[in-house]
Structures are given as structure tokens and as C-alpha cells.
């Protein structure tokens, strides 16, 4: 099962590229840093700093000893709709398993719930929408 989430928030940077960005519009590092802080406050083992990808940011965390990754990026808006954040969950697996689709298999529902509960309970997250489909 592959889990994906979208949401909106006015709290995070969506317009000012930072020096450490791989691409000028790979926003999401501050969202990932906030999620790390919140996960750790809930007792979840999470890496101390977010990572950067060419599409946005990510964070690594472990639930039940199983390593996971939550990746997210900004989906630009248009005249009719505001920009939103899109995120998805993966397992942290080795190189060979990655080649055979291992990142999409075995995502723990508890790992998804750990991030989902934080998003759902935050006063500054809105329009939270979930999608899942077989990997």
C-alpha cells in the first residue's frame, strides 16, 4: 500500500529560496524540521535534521524499530487554487531492495499514523486529504 497526503498551511516557507536548496523551488525543509520536532516530542525516534532532495525535503524516522522516510514538496497553485504540500511515505531499505520496489512495500500503518496524527491535530494545517493505493 502506498500512502500519500496533501495539506495546506500558511506557516511554512513557499516563496524564498534558501542557500542550501538543491533547486530554487525545493521547499519543505522547514515543514520536515517541524515534523521532526513534533515526532520527537511524541517519543518517536527521528533523525535530528531533515534532508534535502531536488523536489523538496524529507525526514527519516523509526516506528517499532522499522526505518521510514516521509518526503514532501510544494505543489504550486494557480489563480483558482492555493499551493499545497504533498507528502508520501517510504520504507528505508538498501540499494538492492530499492531497485525492486522495496521502498513502497511494507510501510507501517503506525508510521503513517505518527505523522498523520501530528498533521491532523495542528491548528495551522488545513485541507488535509489522504490517498492510498496498492504499490
pLDDT in tens, 37-78: 999 999 999 999 998 888 889 999 999 999 999 999 999 887
Could you identify the residue written with the cell 488535509?
A: 128
Confidence grade of residue 82 (pLDDT, cut at 50, 70, 90): confident
Local structure of residue 80 (DSSP, 8 states): S
End-to-end CA distance of the chain: 5
Query: 95: pLDDT confidence band, cut at 50, 70 and 90?
Result: very low
Q: Is 115 exposed, middle or buried (0-12, 13-18, 19+ CB in 10 A)?
A: buried
State pTM to two decimals: 0.85
pLDDT for position 102: 44
Task: Work out the mean pLDDT of the chain and round it to a whole number.
Answer: 84
Nearest to 72 by CA among 87, 90, 92, 91: 87
The answer to whether the beta carbons of residues 71 and 53 sit under 8 Å apart is yes
- Could you tell me the three cell numbers for 100? 525492486
- The DSSP line for 93-134 is --HHHHHTTTTTS---HHHHHHHHHHHHH-TT-EEEEEEEE-
Judged by DSSP in three states, 135 sits in: coil
Report CA Rg, the chain.
14
pLDDT of residue 62: 96
- DSSP reduced 3-state for 45: strand
Amino acid at each position: 500500500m502506498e500512502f500519500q497526503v496533501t495539506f495546506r498551511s500558511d506557516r511554512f516557507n513557499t516563496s524564498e529560496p534558501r542557500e542550501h536548496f538543491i533547486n530554487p523551488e525545493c521547499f519543505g525543509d522547514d515543514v520536515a524540521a517541524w515534523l521532526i520536532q513534533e515526532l520527537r516530542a511524541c517519543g518517536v525516534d527521528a533523525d535530528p535534521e531533515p534532508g534535502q532532495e531536488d523536489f523538496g525535503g524529507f525526514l527519516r524516522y523509526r516506528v517499532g524499530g522499522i526505518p521510514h522516510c516521509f518526503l514532501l514538496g510544494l505543489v504550486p497553485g494557480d489563480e483558482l487554487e492555493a499551493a499545497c504540500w504533498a507528502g508520501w511515505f517510504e520504507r528505508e531499505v538498501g540499494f538492492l531492495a530499492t531497485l525492486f520496489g522495496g521502498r513502497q512495500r511494507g510501510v507501517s500503518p503506525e508510521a503513517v499514523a505518527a505523522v498523520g496524527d501530528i498533521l491532523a491535530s495542528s491548528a495551522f494545517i488545513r485541507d488535509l486529504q489522504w490517498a492510498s493505493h496498492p504499490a
